Amino acid sequence: MKLKFLLTVVTIVVLILLGIVLYRALAPAEPLDYTVGPLTLRDISNTEQLKVFTARKEVLVSQHRINSGLIMDSEDKIYVIYPATLQFGFDLSKCDSTNVAVSGDSVTVKLPPVSILNRDGHAVDEASKRTAIESGQWSAQEMTDLRQRAEALMVRNCEYDSCYARAEQLGRQMVQSMLQSMGYSYVDVDIARRSDYGLCLVDRRFRNQHPYRWYTKDKMSYLAFNIDQPKREARLFFTPGNITERELLALGDYFSIIFAQTPRDVGIVKRGDTVYVMFHNDYLTAGTKEADKYKAVALRKDMSKLRKVVARLIFKGKKVAVMEVDKGGHLICQYPDGK
């Protein structure tokens, strides 16, 4: 298996370098109205992948549904363990002749970003899932949501487990070793930065160590934090389908830490190019004297750090509006944007 893998990688690199050498050797002195080199190299690498290593993981995901009753509420719940095989490596179909530069006995190679090559629904082994607890009836769409959440959790965990960093290190060493064995004395391997970095990993110190509890009640969706506060848990309110699982996990990791001492419920709404962050205050009512006094003090708070995390790392390119609302959802105050 290892021999076959190495032969495949060597073949890819040889074909790319051979294409460059042949193009340079056969290129006419006078320029023509077409270019052979980049197209040929692109065709060679269209379906090629450089697999570095495989990680096997399991993740437990759950969903709770609270049903309102005349006397008391009832709860449906399901816990599912999903296994996954994650293949880390480089998608060489994104390469062309500009990714390899040869000068004498020196060669520079720029690899695309490390990625999970079998992602987007192919990493999770649906057939091997194990249901630990189940009560109530769960639709096909709800089960699909669970599987997507499992994949998002695995991608997030791979960030914390340094799988991406390890793949970069191994990929760089592998390509350097192969090219040096082909006679190149100086080999420089550069790896492009992943554009999705930070979406599922806000910061290592913000990682939530406790399990999340996902549930729905009265058509509202919640992500609850277990932050060692037995009297009250912090929760994210969100609209299903409006925010991705990875964005929710990043928000959960961030808010679960910054609200560890003073739990807060936070509503998240994404509309157009703006994300609305609404801190729920259960002790005040908008328009009262107490709310006005609170507003005077609250508006002096600096929300720039929170805006930076939410706008730049989690929701890239979005504007962020931060506000305080009462338990009825009425506006108490909106923090200035700091501009």
List the structure tokens of 332: 């108490």
Specify the DSSP class assigned to residue 36.
-
Contacts of 173 (CB under 8 A, 6+ apart): none
Q: Whole-prediction pTM value?
A: 0.70
How far CA 317 is from CA of 200, 307, 311, 312, in Å, comes to 16, 12, 6, 7
Range of lowest pLDDT (190-194, 247-251, 256-260, 283-287):
256-260
Helix (H, G, I), strand (E, B) or coil at 107: strand
Contacts of 168 (CB under 8 A, 6+ apart): 114, 191
Range of lowest pLDDT (5-14, 33-42, 149-158):
33-42
Residue 124 pLDDT exceeds 60: yes
Closest CA to 90 of 205, 23, 189, 228: 189
Residue 249 CA to residue 243 CA, distance in Å, equals: 10
The CA-based dihedral angle spanning residues 154, 159, 161, 162, taken in that order and rounded to the nearest 10 degrees:
140
Residue 213 pLDDT exceeds 90: no
Position 320, amino acid: V
How far CA 65 is from CA of 41, 120, 130, 216, 239, in Å, comes to 53, 26, 20, 5, 15
Residue 237 pLDDT exceeds 70: yes
Closest CA to 307 of 281, 333, 275, 330: 275
- 23 pLDDT band, cuts 50/70/90, is very low
Q: What is the torsional sign of CA 299, 301, 304, 305?
A: negative
Report the run of H or E that residue 217 belongs to, with start and end.
Answer: strand 212-217
Contact 146, 63 (CB under 8 A): yes
How far CA 93 is from CA of 6, 39, 43, 97, in Å, comes to 18, 12, 8, 12
Residue 198 pLDDT exceeds 70: no
pLDDT of residue 337: 79
Backbone angles phi, psi at 256, to 5 degrees: -65, -25
Residue reference for tokens 């082994």: 125
